[in-house]
């Protein structure tokens, strides 16, 4: 009775806010009007590298060519590439001085490309090198068509789809922020807590209310965009993905609102978290543009939306959806923990330690809390690792060792934070709690990587075991007051396994 009633009243409240509904309607109308403009812009892009559409990219890649070769005319067609024809000594001198990004030397076997790792142009350089290599091997139709069977226009159209479908979620997920932050700010939450409705029902009703609202708008939006050229091969699949993303963002907004100091801070913080989520998934989807990184794009549900628009027949990403639901469930648990804190009962912002105490109050078991913390650590790891990957490529370059080391350190550190919060007192307790954290983390990671690591299930058990063991070591180390040493051992063990994998599958 309580849950249904509160959802009904929540929807009534949203629907009675005419100003909010009007702003959504206007936003949707404006977005619909811009779709044809964007599609026209896409059509006017020249065939070639995606970046060639941008005026700033003209002459972004400078190549020195020594000798005469048909690739020169191919390179010159691409506005992103500036060709300097010269002799070998001058070319190598230009390369050493950093004035060109690479030298193509024509020889009896066709040619060879010598590149130079200059930051900023790494991606462009690798694309050029890739195209040159393929040209030499003669296994592509055209040097710089990034996805030649699709065509650039089709590819860009399909990338626009997730952008157009996901960004309205910013607005559709706002009601939950106001609901929680407002009730805490004016302390109505106290009288709600004094009703027979449980804290679970109160929180679930707020999230469900916003989800229903977002799903109705999502269905309407999907219906409308098809009149403007966005058609989906599997509309039901896209709708599930869109609704799942909405649920994730709404739940994250609920979490942020529960721990913010006031409604203004809640709105700001929720905007930031929504931006991070959408940007993260969209950025991963963009990787589909480049052949070298296409496989990594499968880590984003936005890619599925893009593929549906492009007409590709791709399976529904069940594993990925499971990961999204795990992260959503984790965020829900943390929000419920906030609702269960004593600070919340006094309408005060709960701290992180109190969040953990709230979680213990719900789960009633330190071991269950440890398992849940493993999922929390995993959820936080994803955006942090994405930033780390970008920084490593930007600052150092494509170094596998540095990349793996940074990811390993991030993962072990975040799991160690979970152990630090749990504060195991005995060695056995530390081992068990650490092991549980690692287990949850490993399971989530395996689910996430399943689409891109095509290996036997049995082999996937090993990474889960490594995570459990390494976190168990840190747990034991905490109990024995040798936390740092244990962390270093865990990082070493984990890194050793990663390097073994690289060596094994090189």
Closer to other proteins at the Cβ: 1 or 56?
1
Closer to other proteins at the Cβ: 163 or 193?
193
> If binding is defined by CB under 8 A, does position 193 make contact with other proteins?
yes
Residue located via tokens 């690479």: 102
DSSP β-ladder status, 112-115 and 102-105? antiparallel
> If binding is defined by CB under 8 A, does position 426 make contact with other proteins?
no
Sign of the dihedral through C-alpha 11, 31, 178, 331? positive
Distance CA 43, CA 112 (A): 34
**How many positions of this chain bind other proteins (CB under 8 A)?**
22
> If binding is defined by CB under 8 A, does position 458 make contact with other proteins?
no
Angle between helices 400-422 and 483-504 (to 10 degrees): 140
> If binding is defined by CB under 8 A, does position 342 make contact with other proteins?
yes
Closer to other proteins at the Cβ: 193 or 325?
193
Which residues share a beta bridge with 112?
A: 105
> If binding is defined by CB under 8 A, does position 18 make contact with other proteins?
no
- Return the half-sphere exposure (C-beta side, CA atoms, 13 A cut-off) of residue 254: 30
Contacts of 8 (CB under 8 A, 6+ apart): none
Query: Contact 274/253 with Cβ under 8 angstroms?
Result: yes
Instruction: Give the binding range for other proteins (CB under 8 A) out of 1-9, 29-37, 278-286, 460-468.
Output: 1-9
> If binding is defined by CB under 8 A, does position 363 make contact with other proteins?
no
Identified binder of other proteins from the candidate list 43, 73, 195, 279, rule CB under 8 A: 195
Instruction: Give the binding range for other proteins (CB under 8 A) out of 78-86, 143-151, 195-203, 473-481.
Output: 195-203
Report helix, strand or coil for 451. Answer: coil
Give least dist CB 12 to other proteins, A: 9
Instruction: Give the binding range for other proteins (CB under 8 A) out of 2-10, 22-30, 109-117, 368-376.
Output: 2-10
Closer to other proteins at the Cβ: 115 or 175?
175
> If binding is defined by CB under 8 A, does position 23 make contact with other proteins?
no
Which residues share a beta bridge with 113?
A: 104
Contacts of 289 (CB under 8 A, 6+ apart): 50, 146, 147, 155, 159
> Segment 153-192, which members bind other proteins (CB under 8 A)?
186-188, 190-192
Identified binder of other proteins from the candidate list 32, 136, 240, 345, rule CB under 8 A: 345
> Segment 197-256, which members bind other proteins (CB under 8 A)?
197-198
Residue located via tokens 């929680």: 180
Give least dist CB 354 to other proteins, A: 11
Give, in order, the Cα–Cα distances in Å from 262 to each of 179, 183, 257, 306.
Answer: 12, 10, 8, 38
Q: Using the 8-state DSSP alphabet, how is residue 104 labeled?
A: E
Closer to other proteins at the Cβ: 5 or 34?
5
Give least dist CB 197 to other proteins, A: 6
| C-beta atoms surrounding 100 within 10 Å | 27
Closer to other proteins at the Cβ: 236 or 346?
346
Closer to other proteins at the Cβ: 193 or 239?
193
> If binding is defined by CB under 8 A, does position 11 make contact with other proteins?
no
Query: Contact 266/181 with Cβ under 8 angstroms?
Result: yes
Give least dist CB 269 to other proteins, A: 23
Contacts of 474 (CB under 8 A, 6+ apart): 412, 415, 416, 419, 430, 434, 483, 486, 487, 490
Distance CA 52, CA 81 (A): 9
> If binding is defined by CB under 8 A, does position 194 make contact with other proteins?
yes
Give least dist CB 433 to other proteins, A: 23
Closer to other proteins at the Cβ: 338 or 491?
338
Closer to other proteins at the Cβ: 52 or 340?
340
The residues that touch other proteins, with contacts defined as CB under 8 A, are 1-2, 5-6, 8-9, 13, 186-188, 190-198, 342, 345, 361
């Amino acid at each position: 009775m309580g849950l249904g009633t509160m959802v009904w009243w929540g929807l009534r409240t949203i629907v009675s806010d005419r100003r909010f509904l009007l702003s959504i309607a206007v936003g949707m109308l404006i977005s619909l009007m811009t779709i044809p403009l964007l599609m026209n812009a896409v059509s006017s892009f020249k065939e070639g590298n995606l970046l060639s559409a941008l005026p700033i990219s003209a002459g972004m890649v400078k190549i020195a060519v020594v000798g005469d070769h048909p690739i020169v005319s191919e390179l010159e067609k691409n506005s992103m590439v500036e060709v300097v024809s010269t002799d070998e000594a001058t070319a190598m001198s230009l390369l050493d001085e950093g004035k060109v990004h690479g030298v193509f030397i024509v020889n009896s076997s066709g040619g060879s490309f010598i590149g130079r790792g200059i930051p900023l142009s790494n991606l462009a350089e690798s694309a050029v090198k890739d195209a040159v290599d393929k040209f030499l091997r003669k296994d592509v139709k055209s040097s710089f068509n990034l996805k030649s069977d699709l065509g650039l226009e089709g590819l860009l159209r399909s990338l626009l789809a997730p952008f157009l479908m996901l960004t309205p979620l910013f607005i559709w997920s706002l009601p939950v922020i106001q609901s929680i932050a407002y009730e805490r700010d004016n302390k109505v939450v106290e009288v709600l807590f004094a009703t027979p409705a449980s804290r679970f029902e109160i929180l679930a009703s707020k999230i469900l209310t916003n989800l229903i609202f977002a799903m109705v708008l999502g269905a309407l939006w999907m219906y409308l965009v098809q009149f403007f050229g966005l058609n989906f091969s599997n509309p039901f699949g896209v709708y599930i993905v869109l609704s799942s993303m909405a649920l994730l963002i709404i739940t994250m907004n609920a979490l942020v609102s529960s721990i913010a100091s006031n409604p203004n801070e809640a709105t700001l913080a929720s905007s930031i978290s929504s931006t991070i989520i959408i940007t993260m998934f969209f950025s991963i989807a963009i990787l589909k543009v480049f052949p070298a990184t296409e496989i990594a794009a499968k880590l984003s549900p936005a890619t599925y939306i893009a593929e549906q628009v492009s007409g590709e027949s791709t399976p529904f990403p069940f594993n990925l959806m499971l990961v999204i639901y795990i992260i959503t469930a984790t965020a829900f648990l943390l929000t419920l923990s906030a609702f269960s804190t004593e600070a919340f009962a006094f309408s005060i912002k709960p701290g992180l330690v109190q969040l953990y105490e709230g979680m213990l109050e719900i789960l009633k078991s330190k071991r269950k809390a440890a398992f849940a913390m493993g999922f929390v650590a995993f959820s936080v790891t994803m955006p942090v690792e994405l930033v780390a990957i970008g920084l490593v490529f930007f600052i150092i370059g494509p170094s596998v060792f540095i990349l793996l080391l940074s990811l390993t350190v991030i993962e072990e550190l975040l799991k160690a934070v979970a152990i630090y919060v749990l504060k195991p007192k005995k060695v056995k307790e530390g081992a068990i709690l650490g092991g549980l954290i690692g287990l949850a983390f490993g399971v989530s990671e395996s689910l996430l990587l399943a689409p891109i690591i095509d290996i036997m299930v049995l082999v996937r058990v090993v990474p889960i075991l490594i995570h459990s063991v390494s976190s168990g070591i840190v747990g034991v180390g905490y109990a024995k007051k040798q936390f740092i040493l244990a962390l270093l051992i865990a990082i070493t063990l984990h890194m050793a396994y990663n390097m073994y994998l690289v060596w094994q599958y090189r």
